[in-house]
Amino acid sequence: NAGVTQTPKFQVLKTGQSMTLQCAQDMNHNSMYWYRQDPGMGLRLIYYSASEGTTDKGEVPNGYNVSRLNKREFSLRLESAAPSQTSVYFCASSEAVGGSHTQYFGPGTRLTVL
């Protein structure tokens, strides 16, 4: 099992460019998440998908869109990148065990917007 995989690992964009971050999980989890991590800010939730076919906003959704393509895949799109979106992006998945959602994270995508 690969767990949660993310592509690309690194990306440099110019302001205004667009890109899609890809995430896939092979654990058959229903729920998937996108977080961003910035120095001094900790992990913040961008969007989540509680199940295939549903997506909801998290704490910091502005400037992002998501697609839950199927149960395995959850992508994050930046339509017009801004320097404020320079961050490390983590995808995670979870399954309810005894009512709680322990999260399994991917290795991250390090994005720089110039």
Partner 1 sequence: SQKIEQNSEALNIQEGKTATLTCNYTNYSPAYLQWYRQDPGRGPVFLLLIRENEKEKRKERLKVTFDTTLKQSLFHITASQPADSATYLCALDGNSGGGADGLTFGKGTHLIIQP
Binding site for partner 1 (CB under 8 A): 4, 31, 33, 35, 40-45, 48, 50, 56, 58-59, 90, 92, 94, 96, 99-108
Residue 73 vs 105, nearer CB to partner 1: 105
Helix ranges, 2-110 (H): none
Provide the minimum distance between the beta carbon of 55 and partner 1 in the complex, in angstroms, as a whole number: 11
Distance CA 95, CA 107 (A): 19
Q: Which amino acid is at 44?
A: R
Residue 33 vs 64, nearer CB to partner 1: 33
Provide the minimum distance between the beta carbon of 16 and partner 1 in the complex, in angstroms, as a whole number: 28
Burial class of residue 88 in the structure, from the number of CB atoms within 10 Å of its CB (0-12 exposed, 13-18 middle, 19+ buried) = middle
